[in-house]
Structure 1
């Protein structure tokens, strides 16, 4: 092949590899705000478009098993991505922990929740919101906390369960429940809880909330998937994640 032809072929290859792609991403509800910021920055830098869907990790698992067209999953736990990988729905070697979540008991009302969580023992409230522990890892962490405190049966009649942590937050934010267990990221900015009152639940009261990401089988041939994973490991994304109160 002549040199000119080689150059033309190389140019075609490079232009094809640099084409913008669209990527379908399933994101755990607790990671909504940081992911929206990350997506905006990533799209500007990489030129790809992210189609974001937010919801409960448990529901995403069922949808992916049933053929939903998601290409990347950002879960609220580490077990679900590992299970999907074992079952052949994920790309081996792409799973990693992108954040460590923190649980908080929060109320929109100033002074209602004390900084030791003693409000739970007093029980001077009609309802307490938590995410469905069967679908949402933050709900499972809330149940672990109540079990270790010996308060599950005492408070069970007051439970208001959200389908995911996003809905649970709405219950408390609209004061349909005076307090509830939510993700710290939902109420945290500029190094503090921005409104109301809160108790940072000690991590000794529940299993670590390690949140893993995974390229799914449907995204194995989409170059934007690998680029997004690399971006999440960079300092720009990490700074956003830290700003919402997550550990790394």
Structure 2
């Protein structure tokens, strides 16, 4: 006997949770593209909706400390979530590393950046973009790289500071800076550069950019918060994360 047309629809509805929930997520700017993709797949697979806000880790810390209504925080470092946990702003024991970030020196021009970063020594480079190292871990990593290469003092007058890594990327993409330190995830997809030229900075030149997730107090009892944290550890999410150049 032929099944009614509604039968497959009923099965799909039964596979979803009994109620749909919404989770408010503060996301470090470097993780914008992968998290947008993960959130779409998360909603499709679970029925829960993740509402995303993107910005600098340091600014999110200040907002959360002042009562901003976020349920989960995906940081660009591991120190800020640990601090929130210690200060009682987050659920103890909920913290874990969801990705390890990679830094890149990038230009929108295809022949500008060499594969060893020697472009940093060129006198004709007038503007170097990076995220504010006081609030953005990728900016702090960029400072470490320049220090180790003995170029920090020479390059400081050329700095164009972005509020976060997204703004640093925009400075370079728009041509307002010839080169800039960006997150590899902003210029990398499925194992290749998406445009321009880049030096993928060796991880040995800066401290590991361990990016931790943590459940904030507001999300303590939210089903969608539990579901999203579990989903971030799933193979589906990990495939997406790897495709943007992150280590796990």
TM-score range for the pair, normalised by the shorter chain length: over 0.9
Q: Which residue of 2 aligns with 1:97?
A: 97
Give the drift of 1:123. Answer: 3.4
Q: Which residue of 1 aligns with 2:9?
A: none
Give the drift of 1:19. Answer: 1.1
Q: Which residue of 1 aligns with 2:195?
A: 195
Q: Which residue of 2 aligns with 1:113?
A: 113
Name the CA distance, whole Å, in 1 between partners of 2:204 and 2:23. Answer: 37
Give the drift of 1:247. Answer: 0.2
Q: Which residue of 2 aligns with 1:85?
A: 85
Name the CA distance, whole Å, in 1 between partners of 2:67 and 2:215. Answer: 15
Q: Which residue of 1 aligns with 2:59?
A: 59
Q: Please list, as runs of the form range in 1=range in 2, the aligned pairs for 1:23-42 lying within 5 A after superposition.
A: 23-42=23-42
Give the drift of 1:152. Answer: 0.8
- Asked if the contact 1:123/1:155 (under 8 Å) is kept, the reply is no
Q: Which residue of 2 aligns with 1:241?
A: 241
Name the CA distance, whole Å, in 1 between partners of 2:193 and 2:210. Answer: 21
Name the CA distance, whole Å, in 2 between partners of 1:105 and 1:89. Answer: 35
Q: Please list, as runs of the form range in 1=range in 2, the aligned pairs for 1:69-218 lying within 5 A after superposition.
A: 69-218=69-218
Name the CA distance, whole Å, in 1 between partners of 2:22 and 2:241. Answer: 23
Q: Deviations over 1:185-206 (max 9, x none)?
A: 0000121111111001111111
Q: Deviations over 1:54-89 (max 9, x none)?
A: 000000000000000001000000000000000001
Name the CA distance, whole Å, in 1 between partners of 2:177 and 2:18. Answer: 49
Name the CA distance, whole Å, in 2 between partners of 1:203 and 1:124. Answer: 27
SS of match in other structure, 1:150: coil
**Runs of 5+ consecutive residues of structure 1 not aligned to the other structure:** 1-16
CA RMSD after TM alignment: 1.1
Name the CA distance, whole Å, in 1 between partners of 2:188 and 2:44. Answer: 25
Give the drift of 1:132. Answer: 0.2
Q: Deviations over 1:189-225 (max 9, x none)?
A: 1211111110011111110000000000110011111
Give the drift of 1:171. Answer: 0.4
Q: Which residue of 2 aligns with 1:228?
A: 228
SS of match in other structure, 1:207: coil
Give the drift of 1:93. Answer: 1.2
Name the CA distance, whole Å, in 1 between partners of 2:178 and 2:18. Answer: 51
Name the CA distance, whole Å, in 2 between partners of 1:42 and 1:98. Answer: 15
SS of match in other structure, 1:32: helix
Aligned residues: 233
**Runs of 5+ consecutive residues of structure 2 not aligned to the other structure:** 1-16
SS of match in other structure, 1:97: strand
Name the CA distance, whole Å, in 1 between partners of 2:224 and 2:18. Answer: 10
Q: Which residue of 2 aligns with 1:7?
A: none
